[in-house]
Amino acid sequence: MLDIIDAHAHLGPWPSFEAIGSTVEDTVSLMDHLGVARVLTVHHAGLFGLLEEAARWSEEAYEASDGRVLSYLVYDPNRAAQSLSIIRASLGKPHLVGIKIHPPKHNCPADDERYRPVWELAREHGLALISHTWGRSADNPAQNYSFPDLFERYVAEYGEVRFVFGHGGGRCDGFLACARLMKTYTNSFMDITGDGFLRGRLKHFVREVGSERILYGSDSPWIDPRFTLGEVLGAEITDADRANILSRNAARLFGLGEK
């Protein structure tokens, strides 16, 4: 039986919608229902400057879930020193799987010099780095800060850092850009979170870059885990590709053994 790993989800409330299912209890309950062994989460609080709280709640989530809820900690370029201090204090702790950045939320383009410290930290300590990535948007121009092409500067310079294009670029233009970059930079991965369930996108990625660097993720509570799980199960890809996406790639990338 495949132990599914959800490589990108969230805990905690969000101001502009009712984040049903965002508690540790609800998360673990749904994991049990779907056969998800582990979930890698970002606590929403960390995206709003509540870095200490997010770190504490992330550690508590690990304990409350018997080690099944793991965490990325947020690097906020507007609170660089505090972010780095908190991440360093969590190094070696079992709940920490990597670092999350979010250029639109922090109003900082992905190629900005203010992100250099986190790439240095990731390289120094062998931490995975995941970012929100999205397509270009006229309605929400901050999303342009996370268009995949903007990450090339650091992905290229820091080839030792395992980088995850969270949401894989989010929209069709972003998906295409992400796939192009992944073909060149073998230290890059993508996850399938978000609401871009475009028919054929998984087939496109598997054809362009293979299935070994694609990660299943839910983006819960924004997206119910069953949407992208249903997409993977229905896509025109092989069962071996499915096993890679749902479990093996994340286990290898984050050093997660069988549980």
Partner 1 sequence: MLLREDFEKRREALEFADANAWVGPPLEQGFQACESVAELNELLRRASVRRALVMHTACVSYDRAEGNRMTLEAVAGRDDMFAAIALVPDVSIGGYLDEAIARKARAVRLFPKAHSFSLAEWCAGAVLDEMLARRLPLILWHSQATWEQIHDICTGYPELTVVVEGAGRKILYDNRIFYRLLADCPNFHLELHNLTNSLAVEDIVARFGASRLVFGSFAPYHEPTAAMMPVTHARISDEDKRLIAGGNLRALMDAVRTGGGDA
| Residue ranges that bind partner 1, judged by CB under 8 A | 2, 16-22, 26, 30, 33-35, 139, 171-173, 175, 195, 197-204, 218, 220-231, 233-235, 239, 242
CB closer to partner 1, 77 vs 221: 221
Nearer residue to partner 1 within complex by CB, 4 or 110: 4
Orientation of helix 116-125 relative to helix 80-90, angle to 10°: 10
Rounded CA separation 55/171 (Å)? 30
Q: Which is nearer to partner 1, 20 or 91 (CB)?
A: 20
Q: Residue 102's closest CA among 137, 78, 126?
A: 78
Output 228 or 249, the one with its CB closest to partner 1. 228
CB closer to partner 1 out of 109 and 221: 221
Distance of closest approach, residue 165 Cβ to partner 1, in angstroms? 17
Taking the C-alpha atoms of residue 20 and residue 203, their distance in angstroms, rounded to an integer, is 31
Whether residue 33 contacts residue 67, with contact meaning beta carbons closer than 8 Å, is answered with no
CA dist., res. 65 & res. 52, Å (int): 20
Q: In sequence order, which residues have a C-beta less than 8 Å from that of residue 210 and are 6 or more positions away?
A: none
Query: CB of residue 88 vs partner 1: minimum separation in angstroms?
Result: 32
Q: What does the alpha-carbon distance between residue 2 and residue 15 come to, in Å, rounded to a whole number? A: 35
Give least dist CB 45 to partner 1, A.
18
Torsion angles phi and psi, residue 15, rounded to 5: -65, -35
Residue 20 or residue 89: which is nearer to partner 1 going by CB?
Answer: 20
C-alpha to C-alpha distances, 210 to 25, 74, 118, 145, 247, nearest whole angstrom: 35, 29, 28, 27, 15
Q: Report the DSSP pairing between strands 96-101 and 128-132.
A: parallel
Shortest distance (Å) from residue 195 CB to partner 1: 5
Q: Which is nearer to partner 1, 48 or 197 (CB)?
A: 197
CA distances from 185 to 151, 182, 216 (A): 11, 5, 20
Cβ 259 to partner 1 shortest distance, Å? 17
CB of 209 to partner 1, least distance (A): 14
Q: C-beta of 184: minimal distance to partner 1 in Å?
A: 21
